[in-house]
Amino acid sequence: MMAIDICCLESRYLALCWKEDTQPNSSILLGFHKAKVLKSLKQVCCFEVFLDQIKESDISSLIEVFSIISLSEIEAVDFLHKAPYALSNKKFVLSLIRLVGQKARIVDLRDVSCGKDFRRDLFQGGLSCQVLHLGSWRTRKLNITGKFMQLHTLNLDFSISLTGFTKECFNCMPNLARLSLCETRITNLWTTSAALSKLPSLKELRFQNCLCCSDTRQCPTSTGGKAISFAFNGYNSDMLQSHLSICSPSKGRNDFIYQRIDSPTRDDMFYDAFSDDDSYVGHHLIESTSDESSDESEVNFPMHCEGPVEWEARLANALAELTGFGQKHGPIMKTSLSSFSDKSAFRSMAGENHSLWNGEFISESVDVISGMDEKGAMHRIHENDTFEEINVLDGNSREHLNGCYCITRVPNSGSNNCSTIEVDDQQLEEGPNFETNISTHEVANKKYKSHHPSPICFEKHYREYIITSIPNLKVLDNLCITDSEREKAKQVFSRHFEYLPYNRRCKENVINILQRRESGGSAGGKRSLKLNQPDPAIGRNTVSFTRSLSAAKVGSAVWPSSRSMSKFKCTDSEEIKTFRPRQFEYHPSDPSLMVFGTLDGELVIINLESSKVVAYVPSVGALNSVLGLCWLRKYPSKLIAGSDNGVLQLYDVNRMGSTISDRAHQTDPATYTFEEFEQLTSVHVNSTDEYFLTSGNTKHVALYDIVSGKRLQTYEDLHEGHINVVKFAHYSPFIFATSSFDHEIKMWDLRQRPLHSCYTTSSTRGNVMVCFSPDDRYLLSSAVDNEVRQHLAVDGRLHLKLDIATLGSVHNYTRSYYMSGGDYIISGSCEESVVRVCCAQTGRRLRDIPLEAAGSRNSRFVQSLRGDPFRAFHMSILAAYVRPSTSSEIIQINLLTSEASSEEKGRDQLLSHSRGLGG
């Protein structure tokens, strides 16, 4: 069958316009003319449709023409636009594109204002185009489920609302080879890599771009092996200032798409579609406020969502945080003198502690700052540290390091006998007991200029993680991935991350594990676990199979399931009541029970399995915000509750009303009222239910006798600052620990009438909380801004320090607890919407769990959290919202079940779809 001639197609269009008495569209006529010119030049015959110039009167004529365009001589159709515009006929646009079928080549919908219905139709219905440009789209969670079988290029740059992907995203894109996600809000390494790993053809990826590059190809000015490992490497002061400023929308774009008339190759089509300008897309800034609070479960955190404000903190502290240094004294501030009119301007910003080195001021609040001298050696300038110099062995290395700074630190062990570090292109030779992250990065090429980075680029070991997780990737952030870099990335990954729980190396099928258990086989095969395990003669198989099952399930649940525990009704006839949780605790012996106290002074006992209230105490004026809660062990129906006004009461669950409506008829559930403890923040009962301790915004701790109800003793001035949390050991009734904002954690023994602490251990920041491991072997401390340490409980020696990046905020209160069994630690902070899961033995990161909420202004933050003591890899999180009008809520998270398997529980119970929960 002979193809329809372009002139015939044009004549048909003109006839339709005459028939409908409409004026032919000049842009459509120009498209026919360009197509004929390309055909005469024996180039790809492409017809260009400019969507912003299509009028409503053109719709019917175009539909008629495009219904037969697949039979014409036109080989490709590009859907473009010359200026940002709002879609007036959304259904028409998608219908028109789909009429073209496989001849659709480039579809450019960037800067297009469209609604949710249009995006849903696009993502679920799919397209047959080869290049899809969706830059600057306002979509929070990318959920592409339709078929995009021909798509090889996808551009989502400047989609500043985009935070992540759904589990099914990218399932039907077998040919997608190039993906760009610059300046999005994607942060989570785990969900991102899991989604991208479903793209079998993905070869080029970028979350930031080289300043001189407009596409995802390898930067032509870069050299192999000189890979950049963090977003800010190579930033000059002007770039830094631009990233710290509030960005304004682009006034214009200069894109290749509208300039080329020659015949593009398949690669050229992609690279043209990725042409960037150097301007920024406007960000929506939410102001934040911060009020200090220091109780165990609540902090009045800054109300903001991650954006330019949080990025400012990250960039100002970038060198320290992404290389793991400068954590002892706080953030590093570094900038060129050219950025300031005089030195006093810098002094006012950086403070009094500063030094001048090679024409730049640098604050001295770091361990070591080194700069390169004229001989090619890098000398320290901080006089209190131990490293004398870093020698450059290779002349090429000097070229790449020239003008840069190398930051190192004294190891945690405190050893100061460190030899000179010699930096070579291939390896780093380091002295004994020295730990540094510069060995995990290759030296960056000085010509690389990072541009438009997404927040994920600021995660520690981001590049190594992506390279290891997506083995087929060839180019990342415009830098080619060499074989040597890939091998080093695997080493870095194995040091800092766990692919599966308990250091499993490969995923196992749950059915196979159960079959081996039934047949008496070994669950772990020949692999030996380095984690501490029970005696092989005592339940070895049970522990092994439990861990194998957990590893298999956690490995498949990258998007864990969750549900909110803030709205309840006791009976079908009762009205739903929304609570405002303030503190919560699991029951120590009944896996089905949890108690939480509210901001309104209520006590609520809930059944975790049925999600119903089983007991309730209304606020009767005695309690304000409930800050302290602790169950008794020998008397499982009793608990002690304390409020911020100092009221302490012993409650009996059996005397509480079984429904919310019973509150007017129930007897007083408080069996005893203790002497008040002013400014209370923490309550904890010892292992024998004889005593309990209280602490608060004072330097004192009070000891109470539960049997007699009397305050036995007030231990004064145990710390120099207020004592935020006090905790008894799980097994010893006399041993307890205190954490204070004076930067110290102390162990005490009641038998010594605490006159002197058993030992004292310090942190670099104020301590928010402390707790014992389930077996009392370790003491876990959490200081402000993600300083999490694990100490040996016997003498306080440092056993482990979690490698978590800081924000540089004095209000970023961090809390950490053990999960069931004590093998893993969960940690969260009140200015971050993520919970981190780390191995308690190695510190390796297993998973980061994002707390995403619907709406760009409604981000959630971690106010407190607890590991479920009975269920492996279960936890509950007290999450608070950016909007003050939205109440906090308790969220149950199950790492063993994926989000998709919990859809029957309702979209409002999912982690990423919690619209309106909590008030």
The verdict on 531 and 435 lying in the same domain is no
Amino acid letter, 526: K
The verdict on 530 and 402 lying in the same domain is no
Burial of 427 per CB tally in 10 Å (0-12, 13-18, 19+): exposed
The verdict on 389 and 536 lying in the same domain is no
Sign of the C-alpha dihedral computed for residues 886, 890, 894 and 900 taken in this order? negative
The verdict on 129 and 53 lying in the same domain is yes
Distance in angstroms (rounded) separating the CA atoms of residues 873 and 823: 10
CATH number reported for the structural domain that contains residue 96 in this entry: 3.80.10
Domain annotation covers residue 482: no
Q: What pLDDT is attached to residue 662?
A: 58
The verdict on 196 and 50 lying in the same domain is yes
The verdict on 142 and 50 lying in the same domain is yes
Residues β-bridged to residue 835: 828, 849
Q: Which of 167, 188, 210 is the last residue of a domain?
A: 210
The verdict on 534 and 431 lying in the same domain is no
pLDDT mean across residues, the chain: 75
Domain annotation covers residue 120: yes
Helices 483-496, 462-469: crossing angle, 10 deg rounding: 110
Domain annotation covers residue 836: no
The verdict on 53 and 148 lying in the same domain is yes
Distances 157 to 130, 180, 352, 504 between C-alpha atoms, Å: 17, 6, 40, 36
Q: Which of 157, 188, 210 is the last residue of a domain?
A: 210
Q: What pLDDT is attached to residue 642?
A: 94
**Strands, sheet with 204-206, edge to edge from the N-terminal-most edge strand:** 46-50, 76-80, 104-108, 131-133, 153-155, 178-180, 204-206, 475-476, 479-480
- Look at the block and give the residue holding tokens 């200081």: 783
Closest CA to 448 of 266, 231, 259: 231
**SS3 track for 288-302:** CCCCCCCCCCCCCCC
Q: What six digits make up the tokens of 760? A: 């004292």
Domain span at 547: 501-556
**Strands, sheet with 360-363, edge to edge from the N-terminal-most edge strand:** 334-336, 360-363, 354-357
The verdict on 197 and 67 lying in the same domain is yes
Q: What pLDDT is attached to residue 277?
A: 37
Q: What pLDDT is attached to residue 852?
A: 74
With contact defined as beta carbons under 8 Å apart, do 162 and 184 qualify?
A: yes
Those residues whose C-beta lies under 8 Å from the C-beta of residue 197, and which sit 6 or more positions away, are 469, 470
Q: What pLDDT is attached to residue 298?
A: 38
The verdict on 419 and 551 lying in the same domain is no
Report the chain (919 residues): mean pLDDT per 10 consecutive residues.
86 92 92 93 93 87 89 93 77 88 93 85 93 89 92 94 90 95 94 94 95 87 50 35 33 33 45 40 31 39 38 44 41 35 38 35 35 39 34 32 32 32 33 31 50 92 96 95 96 94 82 77 51 43 78 86 75 70 95 94 91 85 84 95 93 82 63 92 96 96 96 95 96 97 97 92 96 97 97 97 93 96 96 95 95 65 95 94 82 87 45 31
Domain annotation covers residue 204: yes
Phi-psi region of 709 (alpha: psi -120 to 50; beta: other; left: phi over 0): left
The verdict on 162 and 15 lying in the same domain is yes
Q: Which of 556, 582, 600 is the last residue of a domain?
A: 556
Q: Which long-range contacts (CB under 8 A, 24 or more apart) does 698-702 make?
A: 698/722, 698/723, 699/723, 699/740, 701/726, 701/738, 701/754, 702/677
The verdict on 388 and 528 lying in the same domain is no
Domain annotation covers residue 178: yes
Amino acid letter, 321: E
Dihedrals φ, ψ of 896, to 5°? -90, -5
Helices 308-316, 237-244: crossing angle, 10 deg rounding: 150
Domain annotation covers residue 134: yes
H helices of 81-188, where? 90-100, 116-125
Distances 597 to 601, 607, 661, 663 between C-alpha atoms, Å: 6, 15, 18, 16
Amino acid letter, 132: L
Residues β-bridged to residue 845: 497, 838
Residues β-bridged to residue 504: none
Domain annotation covers residue 917: no
Residues β-bridged to residue 839: 824
Task: Provide the number of structural domains found in the chain.
Answer: 3
With contact defined as beta carbons under 8 Å apart, do 899 and 572 qualify?
A: no
- Alpha-carbon Rg for the chain, nearest whole angstrom, is 31
Distance in angstroms (rounded) separating the CA atoms of residues 864 and 605: 18
Q: What pLDDT is attached to residue 295?
A: 42
Q: Give, rounded to a whole angstrom, the gap between the first and last alpha carbons of the chain.
A: 65
Domain annotation covers residue 67: yes
Closest CA to 329 of 338, 320, 337: 320
With contact defined as beta carbons under 8 Å apart, do 897 and 553 qualify?
A: yes
Convert the pLDDT of each residue in 597-606 to its tens digit: 999 899 999 9
Closest CA to 152 of 313, 10, 266: 266
HSE-CB of 504 using CA atoms within 13 angstroms: 22
Q: What pLDDT is attached to residue 289?
A: 32
Q: What pLDDT is attached to residue 571?
A: 53
Q: What pLDDT is attached to residue 517?
A: 76
3-state DSSP call for residue 425? Answer: coil
3-state DSSP call for residue 179? Answer: strand
